[in-house]
Structure formats: structure tokens, C-alpha cells
Amino acid sequence: MSEAQRKLYDRITSGPRGSFRGPFTVWIRSPEYLDRLEPVGEYLRFKTVLPPRLSEFAILIAARHMKAQYPFQAHEPHALKGGLDPAVIDALRERRRPQGMKADEAAVYDFATELLETKFVGDAAYKAVAAQFGEKGALDLTALIGHYTMVSMTVNAFEVPVPEGVKPPF
């Protein structure tokens, strides 16, 4: 490991993530890229206006859409800890629209699903998110979905497996 890689490794493992797994094992191959990407990911994961329940929900939606097992299994426990109903997660896993979502969850689901499937967000989906979280929230959600789509592309392209002993989520 180069000095630049070691510094990044130490910074990331001593931060809110506390570990160095999954896509980080790929991104470390380009310390310049990871050095710029990691603060963006930290903001999107931990510091947006979205509560953890909803940011983790959006991450799961993006991961499932991209058929990316690593981020789905990694973020499922965080979504549960944040208060997302296990039935909602099970529906995502099965590629079904979850039933019984709270209003804010439905707004995030519709926005994320529309963006991922059509590459656009219509007025109704945008207004539902903006009404709850403002324009900043709509931007944070868009960036979060985009970031975790890229995370998913990374783990899929480099075939990052779920950890040994962990059942693939789908």
C-alpha cells in the first residue's frame, strides 16, 4: 500500500464508516479518485437533510435497481436500525412496490424509482419530495441515488462479493 493509500485507509476507518470494505477495496486503486469521492459519499450518507431511514431506503432502491448485492446487504441493517419496516425491504428485494409505506417513504420511493427507471422525475414525484424536504432535500436525494448507482456499478463491474458467510440478498 502506498503512503497515499495508507492515509486514505486510516482516514476512512477512523471516520463514521469505521471500516474499509466493498467498493473502497476497488477505489483505493486510485487514491486521487477516492480522496475526492469519499467526502462526497460521507456527506450523502451521513449529513443530508434526509433522516437515516430514508437515506438508507434510497440506497437500497438504487442498489436493487442496479442488481448490486453488496450495497444492498451492507445497507439493509442500517435501514432497519433507522426504522424502515422489514416488509418494505422485502418488497424491494422482490422488486415489488412496498405496501403500507409512510408518506415520506412513498415520496422517496416514487422519486427514486421514477429517476432510475425513466432518467427523469415528473412534477408529482418532485413536488412530493420537495414538500417534505425542500429543494435541498430533492437535490440531496438525487445526488444520493446517483452516488449509490455509481457504487453499484463499481461493485458489479469489479465483482465485489458479499462477505463470506453472508447470504446474497437476491
Same domain (yes/no): 33, 67: no
Contact between 33 and 132 under an 8 Å Cβ cutoff? The reply is no
The verdict on residue 36 lying in a domain is yes
The answer to whether residues 79 and 9 belong to one domain is: no
Q: Is residue 163 part of a domain?
A: no
- 98 and 35 both lie in a single domain: no
| Model confidence, pTM | 0.95
Contacts of 29 (CB under 8 A, 6+ apart): none
The confidence score (pLDDT) of residue 157 equals: 99
Looking at the fold, whether 110 and 34 belong to one and the same domain comes out as no
Per the domain annotation, does 150 fall within a domain?
yes
22/87 same-domain check: no
Q: Are residues 62 and 88 in the same domain?
A: yes
Backbone angles phi, psi at 40, to 5 degrees: -65, -45
Give per-10-residue mean pLDDT for the chain (170 aa): 95 89 97 97 96 99 99 98 98 97 99 99 99 98 99 98 96
Final residue in a domain of this structure, among 12, 29, 46: 46
**What is the count of structural domains for the chain?**
2
Domain for residue 168, yes or no?
Answer: no
Confidence at residue 19, expressed as pLDDT on a 0 to 100 scale: 86
Q: Residue 17: its pLDDT value, please?
A: 84
CB 47 within 8 A of CB 70: no
